Amino acid sequence: MDFELDEQQMDFRRALRDFVDREIIPVASEWERSGRYPTEIVEHLKTMGLFGMTTPEEYGGLNLDMVSFALVYEEIARGWMGIAGILGSHNLSCWMISHHGSDEQKDRLLPLLASGEFRTGIGLTEPGAGTDLQGIATTARLEGDCYVVNGTKTWITNARHADVLPVLVKTDVSAVPRHRGMSVLLIDCKSDGFSVSKDLGKLGYKGTESCEVVLDNVIVPQTDLLGGVEGKGMQQVLSGLEIGRINIAARSVGIAQAALDASLAYAKQRTAFGQAITEFQAIQLKLADMATELQAARLMTYWAASMADGGARVDMQSGMAKYFASEVAIKASLEAMRIHGGYGYSTEYVVERLYRDAPLMSIGEGTNDIMRTVIAKALVAGTGVIT
């Protein structure tokens, strides 16, 4: 077993860390408070090729190994989790297109998406369907050689900046079981009837927008059915979410690392009763727990990523990593606030933002309760053997 990054991965992490320390951390809190969109940071992400992380090299992408993929989200979330969200949905969709799209769809879309010239997200969640994706109400009725799409999607990241959006729809509302009637359409966001109706207010996860998208008789050519075959949408989405959960786990590690960094720095300079508070056992125990749980979360995330690199099915591994790491992030952000005392509640310090960002990690890409059922089902089925 090798628990160390290889030399190329370490160089990559150093470059990412330098970028985050120089370009993101100095502006994150101010821009988040003001609601300013991080346009300059997005342009840097483009020049670094990070919009093409999951795109094959033949289409201009980086085609990163999954451990390096995790490093990107860990380091960027350490600086500002919302920025990681801009890349998250985009690269999940690129992964789906590269693995399930037709040759024509790949040739047409992936080079533009890899460069960042085109942006994307993914349209899954609806006002009445989140965890139960089979309960979506968005329909796509085939008329001639085009689909007519009607429905509403919500919590859509990158909606206002997307050029094309993969959308999960029902192409056969009478199918039994329901997933056999579900498909993914690659919808041109400039189409008539496609509109972003509103931005959703959020506790945290600022920096990127989360929107409601309305599809009102949107005409979509049959050639924009992902993979060209109806009824495969649920499988296509679930395969992408396996990788998406590695992204969420890595973001959680980044939040927990930022919480630990802030806590250590503050505890070393804060004095009480004539000494630094690092001399008090109560603070030492909190720091020790934070560091230990952080490292466990990091190793579990890298383990899931390395399993994905090996070509294995990783629904259990990515589910474990996402579940554990997100709970660590929530706990670490709260402990950081306690260590900071009253200052932890102030917008002057980063920990209040971490405290607001962390809970989303237990919800995104499937709630943690769902992750526990995924893990249990894999164990019962014998596909999730732990040795």
Pairing mode, if any, of strands 275-276 and 146-157? Answer: unpaired
Q: How many CB atoms lie within 10 A of CB 1?
A: 3
- Name residue 172's beta-bridge partners: none
User: What DSSP state is assigned to residue 59?
Assistant: G
* Catalytic site includes residue 230: no
In angstroms, rounded to a whole number, what is the distance separating the alpha carbons of residues 69 and 114?
14
Q: Are 329 and 337 in contact (CB under 8 A)?
A: no
Phi-psi region of 217 (alpha: psi -120 to 50; beta: other; left: phi over 0): left
What CA–CA distance (Å, rounded) separates 222 from 278?
A: 63
Would you call the peptide bond into 56 cis, given omega within 30 degrees of 0 as the criterion? no
Distance CA 72, CA 68 (A): 6
Q: Which of 74, 242, 335, 365 is catalytic?
A: 365
Looking at the DSSP bridge assignments, the partners of residue 195 are 214
Determine phi and psi for 345, rounding to 5 degrees: -95, -5
Count CB-CB contacts under 10 A for residue 173: 12
CB 140 within 8 A of CB 147: yes
Torsion of CA 215, 219, 220, 221, to 10 degrees: 180
Helix 81-100 with 103-115: angle, nearest 10 deg: 160
Q: Which residues are catalytic?
A: 365
